[in-house]
Amino acid sequence: MIMLHRIKYCLLILMMSSVSLLAEKSVVDRSAELKRPHHREVVRIPDLPGYLTLKCDFHIHTMFSDGVVWPAVRVREAWEEGLDAIAITDHIENQPSKAFVGGDHNSSYETALPEAREKNLILIRAGEISRKMPPGHLNALFLSDVNKLDLAEPEDALEAALAQGAFVFWNHPGWEAQQPDDTVMFPVHERWIREKKIHGMEVFNEKEWYPVVLQWVLDHDLAVIGNSDIHDVTEHFYDVRFGHRPMTLVFAGERSEAAIREALFAGRCAAWWGDEVAGKEEYLRELFNRAVEFGKPYFVDEDGDAWLEVRNSSDLTFVIEPLEELSDPGKVTIYPDGIQLLRFEAEKLPQTIPCRVTNFHTGMNRDLVVRITLDRVSPGR
């Protein structure tokens, strides 16, 4: 009982001409109708002052560990979804396909690289140190030789990564399989943070989010990370047609691997997951300010309410809840590429109103608060 027949209708039209074609050639090619077209999607996230906002996924598996696809597929998926950079992070210790799949820990990177070059995608050599808790799982990015991390002791593997200049983050710190009771930090994590051996943590992983981890990251001035941890085909797992995979937004000086590395060590990043964004207040505020624009009042109605438009020119979603009373519904969702109408008492304008952006998280129990400034009503309205 679904009514999406438009597509089929197009097919039918084309089909009608097939009989006449037969006389001329003996192959009817319907690539256009039967093959899905592919292109790189433009994902609109505002750049920050002095920085490009790069869309990155730093946690991805292939059949070289326990993923189900060939590495080049990861590049093509990321390209279509509009990402700028990915790191394939196959498990160093977990390779269930080993009976059939050879190569070494660098193979997934190396087989994906030609595709990445063609597609203009930044591919970061990386690996996942996958141990029982503690310390759990750690991703090491910007490696020069992943094989050197294949060591018995977790800390030796970590040191091997750091020796290569790696950026290291703690994966899914609240993953139930490793944290059955509560999400806690172990002494080893505390020590490694103190020793600057861990540089970030995932606050979003796959379908989970860990508010307490966001607080740890902010308290220790680390990088806020969000990733897909995809093992399946991304489109099988996420609805990438109408949504997006979890990712890290990196505010980088340029579109290069070096700039991503610099930004991550500087903690200049945020995480995006479903409609939610988590990160340092200053970055989230800037994303809001650059994506959302409040227009001038254009009309005053009979009740004395002034009407104005709020416009979101990004692919982010913003849910805004005024902390003071307005005339209009308390909570407003401003959809991607969308405009909503707001009403305020005309007499009170101009006015500055503090609002909570309830889907922008700046701490464990803290959301972004913005102050929106409303113009006075022009005479004549």
Nearest CA-CA partner of 224 in 314, 155, 284: 284
Q: Exactly one of 93, 155, 262, 275 binds a second copy (CB under 8 A); which one?
A: 275
- # residues contacting a second copy (CB under 8 A): 117
Which has the closest alpha carbon to 124: 68, 75, 53?
Answer: 75
For residue 361, what is the enclosing H or E element?
Answer: strand 351-363
Q: Which residue has the tokens 């906002």?
A: 53
Tell me which of 99, 153, 177, 195 binds a second copy, using CB under 8 A: 99
Which residues inside 109-138 make contact with a second copy, applying CB under 8 A? 111, 117-120
Residue 378 within binding range of a second copy, rule CB under 8 A: no
Q: Which residues contact 301 (CB under 8 A, 6 or more apart)?
A: 307, 343
Per CB under 8 A, 336 contacts a second copy: yes
In the complex, the smallest distance separating the C-beta of residue 240 from a second copy, rounded to whole angstroms, is: 7
Q: How far is the CB of 144 from a second copy (least distance, A)?
A: 20
Would you count residue 76 as binding a second copy (CB under 8 A)?
yes
Region binding a second copy by CB under 8 A among candidate stretches 87-95, 135-143, 151-159, 295-303: 295-303
Q: Does 379 bind a second copy (CB under 8 A)?
A: no
Residue 297 near residue 310, CB atoms below 8 Å: no
Identify the CA nearest to 263 among candidates 362, 149, 135, 124: 124
Q: How far apart are CA 185 and CA 150, in angstroms?
A: 25
Question: Is 68 near a second copy (CB under 8 A)?
Answer: yes
**Does 334 participate in binding a second copy (rule CB under 8 A)?**
yes
Q: Which residue among 80, 93, 257, 262 contacts a second copy (CB under 8 A)?
A: 80
Contact present, 378 and 297 (Cβ < 8 Å): yes
Of 118, 145, 278, the closest CA to residue 201 belongs to: 278
Place of tokens 């009979």: 302
Nearer to a second copy among residue 190 and residue 232 (C-beta): 232
Q: Binding a second copy by CB under 8 A: which of 49, 102, 379, 380?
A: 102
Comparing CB distances to a second copy, the nearer of 12 and 266 is 12
Q: Which of residues 178-217 bind a second copy (CB under 8 A)?
A: 179, 182-183, 206-213
Strand partners, 204: 209, 226
Q: Is 39 in the site for a second copy (CB under 8 A)?
A: yes
7, 187, 325, 379: residue in contact with a second copy (rule CB under 8 A)? 7
Of the pair 140, 213, the CB lying nearest a second copy is at 213
What is the separation of C-alpha 204 from the centre of its chain, rounded to a whole number of angstroms?
9
Question: Is there binding between residue 317 and a second copy (CB under 8 A)?
Answer: yes
β pairing state of 137-141 and 122-130:
antiparallel
Amino acid type, 351: Q
Burial of 61 (0-12, 13-18, 19+ CB in 10 A): buried
- Cβ-based nearer residue to a second copy, 22 or 266: 22
Any idea which residue has 């490009």 for tokens? 52
Return the residues of window 251-270 that contact a second copy according to CB under 8 A: none
CB of 327 to a second copy, least distance (A): 13
Least Cβ distance, residue 135 to a second copy (angstroms): 18
Give which of 276, 277, 252, 279 is closest to 264, Cα–Cα: 252
Chain centroid, CA 14 distance in Å? 39
Helices 107-119 and 71-80, axial angle in degrees (round to 10): 30
* 319 binds a second copy per the rule CB under 8 A: yes
Binds a second copy (CB under 8 A): choice among 51, 159, 185, 274: 274
Q: How would you class 166 by CB atoms within 10 Å of its CB: exposed for 0-12, middle for 13-18, buried for 19 or more?
A: buried
Interface mask (CB under 8 A) for a second copy, residues 214-233, using x and -?
Answer: ------------------xx
Q: Which is nearer to a second copy, 276 or 286 (CB)?
A: 276
Residue whose C-alpha is closest to residue 56's, from 304, 259, 310: 259
Task: Please select the residue that binds a second copy; options are 40, 290, 348, 376, rule is CB under 8 A.
Answer: 40
Nearer to a second copy, 40 or 376 (CB): 40
Give 151 or 332: the residue with its C-beta nearer to a second copy.
332
